[in-house]
Structure 1
Amino acid sequence: MSFPLLQTIDSPADLRRLPRAQLKQLADELRAYVLESVSKTGGHLGSNLGTVELTVALHYVFNTPEDRLVWDVGHQTYPHKVLTGRRDRMPGLRQLGGISGFPRRDESEYDTFGTGHSSTSISAAHGMAMAAKIKGEDRKAVAIIGDGAMTAGMAFEALNNAGVAHGGLMGDVLVILNDNDMSISPPVGALNKYLARLMSGSFYAAAREGAKSVLKNTPLYEFARRFEEHTKGMVVPGTIFEEFGFNYVGPIDGHDLDSLIPTLENLRDRGGPQFLHVVTKKGAGYKLAEADPVKYHAASGKFDPAVGFVKSATPAKPTFTQIFGEWLCDMAEQDPRLVGITPAMREGSGMVEFHKRFPTRYHDVGIAEQHSVTFAAGLACEGLKPVVAIYSTFLQRAYDQLVHDVALQNLDVLFALDRAGLVGADGATHAGNYDIAFTRCIPLMSVLTPADENECRQALYTGYQHVGPVTVRYPRGAGVGTAIEKDMQAWPWGKGEIRRESGKAQGRAGAPRIAILAFGTVLYPALQAAEQLDATVANMRFVKPLDVDLVRQLAESHDAFVTVEEGCIMGGAGSAVMEALQAMGLNLPVLQLGLPDQFVEHGDPAKLMAQCGLDAAGIAQSILQRFGARPELLRPAANE
């Protein structure tokens, strides 16, 4: 497929030199290019197809990068990346060494703010707008936020702050609400286009301000203000944003360049806080994505655009997310107290079937992680048993609630932490690297780390039976393919198991007897490494409460410990083992293996694990380097 006009655009400056009549062709080529690119690399699809015209209009009207564009979440920025000099780098999207699937400040000057989590754009854009005022610079700041992200409290905190003057200064910030949860209804037509242009134009603004000056300090002023707001409210749903101090315009068709561009030009030329409501369609221009926006939200890999997503002929191994979803339904059948909660991740957390079967016990609270945790606490106070299905990286946003509202009151809440550890192509913003460290330091909190699919099911059951706050962490994707036991058996609380015994008791001169303590799915590469080194391997299962009896037993019969975890080393499970040894007065060398003290880039998960030294070869090599075992004593690897 050729893209004759798009190929001439290497920067927004090139775009702004085009006649307006050519912008429709450019948008069509841009949409086709995004679809072709994602079909080869995977990535977010529907949301990017929905922002093509909006992206073209923004870069055409605003003087980027001098004017700042801040994209919320950032999974709708592929068109933005293409127009800002990264068109030829799209074949490496989300791949190791390639460009990110989200905005990154170190990737382009056009990426003014790094994002990955939602609802940060208005706060950041307001900060940039106020910085311009403080520094005496004439530039605009634009926040583009989706209707889903507007459900988060942080967005409204930012609106509340941005709509008022600070020390006499008012930032020139434009908030664009990209509403793609509704179809373009009849009101978004000729009348609404006219109203949008009228309310964003200079005549309306001058008349409005003139009336203010005439009526100010008279009894009619407050009446006129309220009449204006409520008159607007009869034709547009913007009264709430007016109450925050914004001038509301819209809704308008976000795919109509003839409506978008003049409206944006009018709002660009106005000062102070402005709010534009645009309506777009996820997957716009690609019929398969328009028909099923949930399915086509993201592509996990390559696909044929003419055919769409097709299921593999070979049945895939069940993912940990699927294991959780099945367990949740089974547990709900047994216990009517169970309530499932998700902060806007029904599909991602595997709760679709639970929602169908138990609709009154399913709660999607929107992108409101803080609320989800405290809501669960309230349910627990009344004797129910809430299960919060939340990505590890998203639980970071509710840390205060985790400490104060759940743990401090020792409430009976189970947290199912999906995407624990590295997440591959989504990169550092979505990686769950820190939950072991930030949960195990909380009093009364228990932390379980199942090693495979069946252990995940049993760990969830074990955690559910415990009274008090519990986290069960599991990674993205599938495990080793362990058979799933339908019957659920609770583990002995706080107890691990030995999965492999070293034969070094028989004597191997010069080689220390090593015990590898594995937490989670890294058990399996640890077992492979142990075959080479003839090491003992313990499947610890619990980070907290740690199995101190097993730690003591292994310490008394081995010369050194190696701890392995798919989480940050500092404050992680390895640190828990060292603390236990110190408390027992045992002096034993410990090698801690885990994720490094840096943000791990996006890329293929297996390659990333190897880079971090958490595959079998990396574990064996680290042990050799630290403890000096002789290479000639190594056994062949199990997979050789």
Structure 2
Amino acid sequence: MSDRPETPTLDRVTVPADMKRLSDAELKRLADELRAETISAVSTTGGHLGAGLGVIELTVALHAVFDTPKDRLIWDVSHQCYPHKILTGRRDRIRTLRQKDGLSGFTKRSESPFDPFGAAHSSTSISAALGFAVARDLGGAPEHGIGDCIAVIGDGAMSAGMAYEAMNNAGHLGKRLIVILNDNEMSIAPPVGAMSSYLSRLYAGAPFQEFKAAAKGAVSLLPEPFQQGAKRAKDILKHSVMGGTLFEELGFSYVGPVDGHDLDQLLTLLRTVKSRATGPILIHAITQKGKGYAPAEDSADRGHARAKFDVVTGEQKKAPSNAPSYTKIFANSLMAEAAQDDKIVAVTAAMPDGTGLDLFAERYPSRCFDVGIAEQHAVTFSAGLAAGGMKPFCALYSTFLQRGYDQVVHDVAIQRLPVRFPIDRAGLVGADGATHAGSFDIAYLANLPGFVVMAAADEAELVHMVATARAIDDGPSAFRFPRGEGVGVEMPETGVPLEIGKGRMIQEGSRVAILSFGARLQEVQLASEKLSQRGITPTIADARFAKPLDRDLILRLAAEHEALITIEEGAIGGFGSHVAQLLADEGVFDHGLKFRSMVLPDIFIDQSSPTDMYETARLSAPHIEAKVLEVLGVETLAARRG
């Protein structure tokens, strides 16, 4: 017996064109069934739940009114796109979400024509939609044509400057462009900042449409039943802060707020906008993250991200933990350091839970700053804190630190300011796929003069690296660590600062040396166990630092072995490249050293389990073993069969 919900109306919809044959009453039933199907699907795969449940009615209304894919529908971040995928020909694969060879958890151009623009990071949708609108008006894609361009952006994403850069440009160009502000009062964590407060004031203490849609220029776009009420409200509100003032000053007509779960309102409004809008228009829709599923509605994050769960109870089916997570170890270590040093402050960009700083904020609320989805600001704010005598730890995921790179260069590195960057989610991260992989930070930080770049091989090393970063006061530093649990090593009572630029020997051997940077060390040791069965005992060292390099250690390894292999969880141009440069500068290659560098391949690796992803990257123990045998010229059975 199937535990899937009964969905007779949804069963009639394969692509959005099928929705054109449904009455408004049937569309309401479709929305209910779509919500049930989304909950059922995510319960079997895990993934982002709350955001999708919050846009069920909006998703139905948009696809029912507009003509996708000719009309370009662009979801910001796109973690809310599961209902969209179900309605756009991918329902038969929806239970492969975020799995190897399955559907991406985000929009992806190569996956469907209904995904005109890929996403996974925030605040890109308005820029992309404006690009489509200009391309449309300049005759782009003549064989298919481009219709309306619609960006759906959450209130959290409106804390990023890029959204305002796009709106400023859109208002200036005056192109027909529809922006829907999906205001659910939170992104991943509860909202922060003046923008959140501003949006809250737009609808606090008043009915949705009648009393807040009186903003200049928007009344004529309202459905007829609301126009008179809005006009009457205009005189009442004319001396107050108007709902659309900010957006109108940027050149947009403002409509709202509207109830984002009232399908009657949404259908009527969107049909009116489609037929009558000319220039850029912003529709402000109020939604509830996790809407319609009590376990999500009742959770602090409104069901943002979930492991597989029981549909009835909402209980997640997480595997038991064997060791604390790296993120928690970082948070506890930082709190321990902060207890000894009142100059330590922590900064994050809308990821307090993901970076562990929610724990820090509970203990030191006045010393923890969540700046919203604004990585550029987070970095320069941290630079200002450092210049002002504080010791900032700017904690960001590797993939999100990319968004603040110019600030890292210009505002931190050039000024040699002691900003510390704890880099979470280093390396390959699993189900979120290529958009969230921490592949590039070694390369883009280690090439900056004066930067100290570290990587933790295990959780004990992470504790010491937090202490090391605290002690560095003459320039910037970074330490990276992976997602997930530690490896179960014995933990130190307190962190001890490491000697800058000095690695450690793990195992003495002969013929070949393996120099590991980061969390592949355990795979190196597994490979060594296999190699020992062949009579090969490699020397193993943990570099600890990509910058500055441990010159003495590297040159000793090169002098005492036939071959040297570096390994790292990063892209080409990182640790291995720096080692190769040192060896070349010292003329080591002139003496016949065999050198190999094992790095992430020059491709973007799609979602799968981290284990599978590292197999694809050829950075697991069997591949390390094979590399050693290859460089030593040892023929294997697999090679003979080759």
TM-score in terms of structure 2 length: 0.89
Q: Please say if residues 308 and 318 of structure 2, whose CA atoms lie closer than 8 Å, have aligned partners that are also in contact.
A: no
Q: Confirm or deny that 1:446 pairs with 2:452.
A: yes
RMSD: 2.5
What secondary structure, in the 3-state scheme, does the structure 1 residue paired with 2:138 have? helix
User: How many Å separate the matches in 2 of 1:235 and 1:351?
Assistant: 35
Q: Which residue of 2 aligns with 1:215?
A: none
Q: Confirm or deny that 1:164 pairs with 2:172.
A: yes
Q: Confirm or deny that 1:40 pairs with 2:44.
A: yes
Q: Please say if residues 513 and 538 of structure 2, whose CA atoms lie closer than 8 Å, have aligned partners that are also in contact.
A: yes
CA displacement 1:585-628 (0-9 Å, x = unmatched): 11122111121001111111111111211111111123323432
- Pair 1:608–1:325, CA change in 2 (3 A): same
User: How many Å separate the matches in 1 of 2:291 and 2:226?
Assistant: 33
Residue number among 238, 258, 265 corresponding to 1:252 in the alignment: 258
Q: Please say if residues 424 and 483 of structure 2, whose CA atoms lie closer than 8 Å, have aligned partners that are also in contact.
A: yes
Q: Confirm or deny that 1:567 pairs with 2:570.
A: yes
Structure 2: gaps (5+ residues): 187-199, 532-536, 638-642
Q: Which residue of 1 aligns with 2:210?
A: 191
- Which shows bigger deviation, 176-185 or 614-623? 176-185
- Pair 1:229–1:85, CA change in 2 (3 A): farther
- Pair 1:24–1:613, CA change in 2 (3 A): same
Residue number among 501, 517, 520 corresponding to 1:494 in the alignment: 501
The residue identity in structure 1 corresponding to 2:178 is L
Q: Which residue of 1 aligns with 2:190?
A: none
Q: Please say if residues 230 and 239 of structure 1, whose CA atoms lie closer than 8 Å, have aligned partners that are also in contact.
A: no
What secondary structure, in the 3-state scheme, does the structure 2 residue paired with 1:363 have? strand
User: How many Å separate the matches in 1 of 2:407 and 2:394?
Assistant: 13
Question: What does 1:397-436 correspond to in 2, within 5 Å?
Answer: 397-436=403-442
Fraction of identical pairs, as percent: 48
Shift of 1:312: 5.8
Shift of 1:316: 4.3
Q: Which residue of 1 aligns with 2:382?
A: 376
Q: Which residue of 1 aligns with 2:443?
A: 437
Residue number among 93, 97, 122 corresponding to 1:89 in the alignment: 93
Q: Which residue of 2 aligns with 1:556?
A: 559
What secondary structure, in the 3-state scheme, does the structure 2 residue paired with 1:323 have? helix
Residue number among 545, 555, 562 corresponding to 1:542 in the alignment: 545
Residue number among 120, 129, 151 corresponding to 1:143 in the alignment: 151
Q: Which residue of 1 aligns with 2:595?
A: 590
Q: Which residue of 2 aligns with 1:603?
A: 608
Shift of 1:476: 0.7
Question: What does 1:180-329 correspond to in 2, within 5 Å?
Answer: 180-181=184-185, 187-189=206-208, 191=210, 198-201=219-222, 231=237, 234=240, 237-269=243-275, 270-294=277-301, 296-299=303-306, 301-310=307-316, 314-329=320-335
Q: Please say if residues 126 and 162 of structure 1, whose CA atoms lie closer than 8 Å, have aligned partners that are also in contact.
A: yes
Shift of 1:521: 0.6
Residue number among 481, 484, 488 corresponding to 1:481 in the alignment: 488
Q: Please say if residues 389 and 418 of structure 1, whose CA atoms lie closer than 8 Å, have aligned partners that are also in contact.
A: yes
User: How many Å separate the matches in 1 of 2:386 and 2:421?
Assistant: 13
Question: What does 1:13-32 correspond to in 2, within 5 Å?
Answer: 13-32=17-36
- Pair 1:400–1:148, CA change in 2 (3 A): same
Q: Please say if residues 220 and 227 of structure 2, whose CA atoms lie closer than 8 Å, have aligned partners that are also in contact.
A: no
TM-score in terms of structure 1 length: 0.90
What secondary structure, in the 3-state scheme, does the structure 1 residue paired with 2:336 have? helix
Q: Confirm or deny that 1:359 pairs with 2:365.
A: yes
Q: Which residue of 1 aligns with 2:514?
A: 516
Shift of 1:272: 0.9
User: How many Å separate the matches in 2 of 1:237 and 1:48?
Assistant: 26
Shift of 1:305: 1.6
- Pair 1:24–1:205, CA change in 2 (3 A): closer
User: How many Å separate the matches in 1 of 2:435 and 2:17?
Assistant: 30
Q: Confirm or deny that 1:61 pairs with 2:68.
A: no
Q: Please say if residues 151 and 366 of structure 1, whose CA atoms lie closer than 8 Å, have aligned partners that are also in contact.
A: yes
User: How many Å separate the matches in 2 of 1:9 and 1:172?
Assistant: 29
What secondary structure, in the 3-state scheme, does the structure 2 residue paired with 1:491 have? coil
Question: What does 1:90-129 correspond to in 2, within 5 Å?
Answer: 90-129=94-133
Q: Please say if residues 188 and 253 of structure 1, whose CA atoms lie closer than 8 Å, have aligned partners that are also in contact.
A: no
Shift of 1:235: 7.9
The residue identity in structure 1 corresponding to 2:101 is G
Q: Which residue of 2 aligns with 1:10?
A: 14
User: How many Å separate the matches in 2 of 1:73 and 1:367?
Assistant: 11
Shift of 1:233: 7.9
- Pair 1:418–1:78, CA change in 2 (3 A): same
Structure 1: gaps (5+ residues): 208-226, 505-512, 633-640
